[in-house]
Amino acid sequence: MSIVLYDLAGADPDVRFSPYCWRTRFALAHKGLPVESVPWRFSDGAAIAFSGQGKVPVIQDEGTIVSDSWAIATYLEEQVPAPTLFGGGTGRAHALFVNAWADAVLVGGIARFIVRDMLDIIDPGDRDYFRSSREARFGATLEAVQAGRGDRVTAFRALLLPIRLVLRKQAWLGGAAPSYADHIVAGTLMWPYCASRFELLEQSDPVSQWHGRILDLYGGLGRSAKRG
């Protein structure tokens, strides 16, 4: 039986752009687990009420329900130890820092470049909710939040310096092979990749080249992703 994944989808159900769902998709692919993916929209709270909370990703594995991308990754590692996502307890503890950095620095940073673009790809039924909730969060209209992005993108790219420093010494954040640390950052970058045509990274950036290599993993899971 496949694991069922509730995955945020756009108006086009094949467009998947959640940075957290992508972390889970890469983790599932890393484990080689078959997945039955269920497109989910912000307005589908009832569809995941069984999980006791209101956000995706949620997975259902036989009778077990797990929500939150980090909790899902640790669950998968326990259930299917190889190939490893974390390389043991200390590796998992260190990956939590990468997860926290991605959440604190990348997610908030990226939103300011694509949040208005997202309105064009999400389901029409999600648009009022999306605009009002995000405008309340940012204290500005989506248009104002995204404005001037061409002038701001250099400062954003500078925030990726830690990734560049790591890639000078090793091919993957996981070292000689991809680990969940790669999935965290690459999954987060799948969000702007799938939800916007804005060039957040320069093609010459080593981060962009590393992301290209992630796109090609797992039978081209990321490469074949439909972009909005």
**Residue ranges in contact with a copy of itself by CB under 8 A:** 84, 86-101, 103-105, 161-163, 165-166, 169-170, 172-176, 179, 181
- The nearest distance, CB 155 to a copy of itself, in angstroms, is 14
Mark out the alpha helices in 60-199 (DSSP H runs). 69-79, 89-101, 108-121, 127-138, 142-146, 149-158, 161-167, 180-195
Does residue 88 sit in helix, strand or coil? coil
- The contacts of residue 82 (CB under 8 Å, 6+ apart) are none
State how beta strands 35-40 and 58-61 pair.
unpaired
What are the C-alpha distances in Å from 81 to residues 42, 129, 166?
A: 33, 39, 26
- The nearest distance, CB 104 to a copy of itself, in angstroms, is 4
- The nearest distance, CB 131 to a copy of itself, in angstroms, is 27
- The nearest distance, CB 217 to a copy of itself, in angstroms, is 16
Tell me which residue has tokens 């912000």: 42
Q: Enter the tokens of residue 56.
A: 């995706």
Nearer Cβ to a copy of itself (49/71): 71
Nearer Cβ to a copy of itself (32/162): 162
Nearer Cβ to a copy of itself (60/188): 188
Nearer Cβ to a copy of itself (59/163): 163
- The nearest distance, CB 87 to a copy of itself, in angstroms, is 2
Nearer Cβ to a copy of itself (107/144): 107
